[in-house]
Structure 1
Amino acid sequence: MRALLAFTGSRGDAQPGILLARALRERGHEVTLALAPNLVAFALDHGVPAVPFGCDTGDLLHAQRTDERFAARDPRARSRALFELQRRGVPEALADLRALAPGHDVVVAGMAGEELAESVARSIGVPFAAVHFFPIHPNSAVPVVPTRWAARLPGVVHRWGWSMLARARAAALSPVLPADLDPATPSVRIQAYDPDLFPGLRAELPGPFAGFPIDVDGLLRDRTSGVRITPNGSVTSTRPGEDSWDLPPSATTRPLADESSTAPMGPNTDTLSTSTSAWGTEFGAQLVIDSATTVFDVDHALHAWLESGTAPIYVGFGSMDVGDPVAFVAMLRAVCAARGRRLLLASGWADIAPGIDDQVAVVGQVDHARVLPQCVAAVHHGGAGTTAAALRAGVPQVICSVQADQPYWGQALQRLGLAATTPARTLTAAKLTALLDLVAAPEVGRRAANWAAGLRTDGVARTADAVEHLLDTAEIHTAGRLQ
């Protein structure tokens, strides 16, 4: 089998594609993995070949953050902004996939860019598989509006709402997608999440239900194993023995506090009260010292920090905007300190400098499978990948949703007593404290542990099974048409 995998979007959208590409390669298949240009290096860095298509997702996120219509009260203005954003870069992505597609037997895509990838598959007459990280297909089990009041509406309203949403999306993309394609091309929607999080859904959708594409062996753990400190006092993320590297979309160099400084650190001031010695002695494993640089092993430092004190509260917002990073870190530090808890912050794409002191550790990314079980709570944006990782770890969650499917995960887990949720735009120190109080209840911890015990972790393998089965079905279908 020769498979073209097209996974655009943020890192959370790309990770399942990378894991699926590796799984199919290990089964002997030929795979072309196409990712957004800014995520190709991420795949290559983890040993999975990839090629670019479409536009930089960092640019799309920036466009969304700066478009005032997304914050407008008028839902029509928000809808117009969303549909325009969905169309942006589609012609370029379509051209890239058309150039890549010939010679492949199947096309697979994530939810982002699903329509354009399917149009390419139909144009060359090969089967298509969409990997859904959330139940967006019309159904009556999931409220189309992610609120408590919407959950009380009749199921027929939910199904109608999802159908209208699908039609609106198709209409928004129709000007930039080809029409009159072969409707007989076999296709499947693989449901890559745990349907039991949405009671009644399993009976609503045909599946297949593969489960969350969990990174069970840590393939996608962060490879930024070092921090380089130069004589002029700057700190950059690096790997031992290599030059400094970019942490998109923020710059790599940040001022590091002086040995005696207690000022907070950040993009203009600093985000942590720490010093160069904190990296290399108390928590860090010193790897290189010369006249130019000092390099410390962040993985070792984080492990030592986790082992050195009480279980922390984990906070990570992935590629989402956290607003003013200095105020954000100050708020988190104050809330955790008031609770007598340490803070572990995965800064992701936020413009926050790395560093470690007794009470706070800031790193770029973490290995969720290794770190989350050592935390008392996980505060995050509600991306499907982070939600799944926290479910697997059995840790109570506070989901502060920003966009897309995130509020649905927040509401779903809150209804099941596994999390508390709020829109990120409403997050304050007082609200975060109240939400952490809710998930600190013993019954929430018990429910989270019970859910973790039953969570399947073979989602990547079952997704690969579904792709192979689709191709087998397509071959039988083709043979039947030729007879």
Structure 2
Amino acid sequence: MKILMVTAGSRGDVEPFAALARRAAASGHEVRLAAPDRSGVDLTGIDVRSLGVDFSAMIESQGVSPLAAMRNLRDVVRPVMRGVIVGAAHAALEFRPDVIVWHPKVLSVPLIADALGIPHVLVELVPVVTPTREFPAAGTVTGSLGPLNRLTYRAAAAAGAMFRREVDEAAGVMGVKRPRRSSAPAATLLPISPAIVSRPRDWPESVVLTGAWRSTVTDAAGLADAATPASFPDLTVDAFVRGGPFVYAGFGSMAAGDPVARGRALVEAARARGLRLLVATGLGGIAVPDELLGDDVFVTGSVDHAAVLPHAVAAVHHGGIGTVQAAMAAGTVSVIVPFIADQPFWGALLHRQGLGPAAIPQRRLTADRLAAAFAGAPAYAAAVRSAAERMSHEDGTGEALRVLERLERPSPRPPAETPRSRGAWMSRRSRVPERPA
């Protein structure tokens, strides 16, 4: 099977796709991953097609503020989204896949798949697309709205409407017009552990909660920084990790607010509890002032989560689902400091399920609040270890691949009983431009 995977975003958006690409290729499939540049993910050994966009540069230039994104929509955000939306069409024409596996930001994939007459599979990295009554869409509200929870999932569709012009351009690349309604995904995959989220009873059967996606090379490979592969551990980090109890702190790509104030709060809180501190500065979310450095504080750009987190007494992070699952799989209690999007959702969910202390919003982060969270973390350790044990028996990447392998070539004639998807699977190869010579 020829599988094209297309993703968009920063490290947390690329890592799961890289893990699935490796697993599929190792199983004999022909796989190509279309991805942004400079994601920080080790893509060694994967057939990668650059989308020619850099989400890390966008974050470094404007931070992660939604207001900044709206101010820079025309000059910064729209060009990046155009690269993803239109680039996916070019990648599909070049590769001619049998199926496309896609990130929700790649809004053009349904029409691309329909133009090629092939199925497509949505990867819902966080629950924001498939409606349920059981909880609200991640990134909207943190408390349940009961029967109104389903309405919160309309936000994703509204955001997609902002880039109709780019989707029209992708349709032009494919030699078709943008349809009023494209086909639904043949399947929707959520690379999330059931130990963290229980599958809602009202999800369709085509929606599969697979478990986290990890690399088949080693668990660490999908988490390692591109500059520090898991096979070449950072010996200075390793020495610090083995030097006694410590707290890990890293906010990934969350460059916002005052990183120095956060660094100061982290150091003061760790010292108040008699703990050492390992800081990963990421894209600039934390900065430790020189006067606070010492033998008990180690600062680096990034770390291999799989090598570090199992040894930490607690992990302070932004609450992205990738880091949430890495900490949980390591049996390490998370102290979540949410910034934007789905992060407050995960912070509230873990606390509600007894898997971590209450989240501390980044604007309210203080040394006293952090020290209190560190003091309370041991109370959640047993529950987190139990969740880690459940996760150790999951094979999320394998389950995702099994779903892909079960897909059959769709019939060229759409079934009459499904008017919503009428024409969706009709083969249009004669209308699609041939691959350039």
TM-score, length basis structure 2: 0.80
- Following superposition of structure 1 onto structure 2, how do residues 69-468 of structure 1 map, counting pairs within 5 Å? 69=67, 87-102=78-93, 103-113=96-106, 115-136=107-128, 137-144=130-137, 150-151=143-144, 153-154=145-146, 156-162=147-153, 164-178=154-168, 179-180=178-179, 183-184=182-183, 187-199=186-198, 201-206=200-205, 207-215=207-215, 216-220=218-222, 221-222=224-225, 224=227, 299-309=234-244, 311-321=245-255, 323-350=257-284, 357-419=294-356, 420-441=358-379, 444-455=380-391, 456-468=393-405
Tell me the secondary structure at the aligned position of residue 34 of structure 1: strand
Q: How far 1:54 moved relative to its partner?
A: 4.7
Deviations 1:363-382 (A, max 9, x none): 22222222211111111011
Write 1 or 2 for the structure with the bigger share of strand: 1
Q: Which amino acid aligns with 2:250?
A: G
Percentage of pairs with the same residue: 31
Q: How far 1:32 moved relative to its partner?
A: 1.4
**Contact persistence 1:34–1:53 (CA under 8 A):** yes
Measured in 1, the distance between the counterparts of 2:203 and 2:100 equals: 25
**Contact persistence 2:2–2:98 (CA under 8 A):** yes
Measured in 1, the distance between the counterparts of 2:318 and 2:402 equals: 30
* Residue of structure 2 in register with 1:61 after alignment: 59
**Contact persistence 1:213–1:460 (CA under 8 A):** yes
- Report the more deviating stretch, 373-382 or 201-210: 201-210
**Contact persistence 2:262–2:287 (CA under 8 A):** no
Measured in 2, the distance between the counterparts of 1:148 and 1:31 equals: 37
Measured in 2, the distance between the counterparts of 1:298 and 1:325 equals: 27
* Residue of structure 2 in register with 1:279 after alignment: none
**Contact persistence 1:380–1:400 (CA under 8 A):** yes
Measured in 1, the distance between the counterparts of 2:374 and 2:210 equals: 32
- Structure 1 residues not aligned, in runs of 5+: 71-77, 227-296
**Contact persistence 2:42–2:221 (CA under 8 A):** no
**Contact persistence 1:86–1:173 (CA under 8 A):** no
Q: Which amino acid aligns with 2:192?
A: Y
Q: How far 1:300 moved relative to its partner?
A: 1.7
Q: Which amino acid aligns with 1:177?
A: V
Q: How far 1:316 moved relative to its partner?
A: 1.1
**Contact persistence 1:6–1:110 (CA under 8 A):** yes
Deviations 1:82-114 (A, max 9, x none): 98776443333333222221221111112332x
Instruction: Quickly say closer, same or farther: Cα 1:106–1:225, change in 2 above 3 A.
Output: closer
- Report the more deviating stretch, 393-402 or 119-128: 119-128
- Give the total of aligned pairs: 393
Tell me the secondary structure at the aligned position of residue 112 of structure 1: coil
Measured in 1, the distance between the counterparts of 2:355 and 2:302 equals: 24
**Contact persistence 1:146–1:411 (CA under 8 A):** no
Q: How far 1:427 moved relative to its partner?
A: 1.2
* Residue of structure 2 in register with 1:238 after alignment: none
Q: How far 1:60 moved relative to its partner?
A: 2.9
Deviations 1:220-272 (A, max 9, x none): 3235459xxxxxxxxxxxxxxxxxxxxxxxxxxxxxxxxxxxxxxxxxxxxxx
Deviations 1:1-60 (A, max 9, x none): 111111110011001111111111111111111111223x7444x332312115210233
Instruction: Quickly say closer, same or farther: Cα 1:379–1:68, change in 2 above 3 A.
Output: closer
Deviations 1:165-218 (A, max 9, x none): 133123223343232177457522112112453456254343222111134532
- Structure 2 residues not aligned, in runs of 5+: 169-177, 416-425, 427-437
Q: Which has the higher contact order (CA 8 A, sep 6+)?
A: 2
Q: How far 1:128 moved relative to its partner?
A: 0.7
Deviations 1:110-132 (A, max 9, x none): 2332x223332223222111111
